[in-house]
Amino acid sequence: MENDVQLVACTVDNEEYAIDIRSVQEIIRLLDITRVPHASPYISGVINLRGMVIPVMNLRKRFGLPDQKPDETARIIIINCNGSMVGILVDSVSEVIRIPRQNIEHTPSCSSNVNTEFFSGIGKLGSRLLIMLNLDNIFEIRTDHQGF
């Protein structure tokens, strides 16, 4: 069991991704998101979660995918990122899964056209392949803006 990794499986644009459960604070239904002027294009805005103001990043926009209006399956995954709470908007969350550590491979660098900086590996679970998210790189925001 200690050689297993627990992951939260989620989808964005029909692809299955995985987040290490140790980074996940909670998973919530979509709340009203207040837009923030001059925020990075992939920051949808902020939410009020039990008195805490939490920025929400839209993973579709962060990955450069076409934007889509969230439906009833959309979820916000609250992540503890170096002591700060940040939300990630995904199309859906399916389950918490356990994968043996030896079933996780490094992200292949097969093509210079594929941007793999947001991914830390590929988890194999039966016939499923889960793209493991590198949260440090996803949250690294390269802009001149302060804050969001």
Rounded to an integer, the average pLDDT of 61-69 is 91
Is the pLDDT at 145 greater than 50? The verdict is: no
Q: Comparing 2 with 85, which gets the higher pLDDT?
A: 85
Superfamily of domain 4-139: CheA-289, Domain 4 (2.40.50.180)
Is the pLDDT at 80 greater than 80? The verdict is: yes
Question: Which tens digits make up the pLDDT trace of 93-142?
Answer: 999 999 999 999 987 665 544 567 888 999 999 999 999 999 988 887 54
Q: Where are the domains of the chain?
A: 4-139
Using left for φ > 0, alpha for ψ between -120 and 50, and beta otherwise, residue 73 falls in: alpha
What pLDDT is recorded for position 47? 97
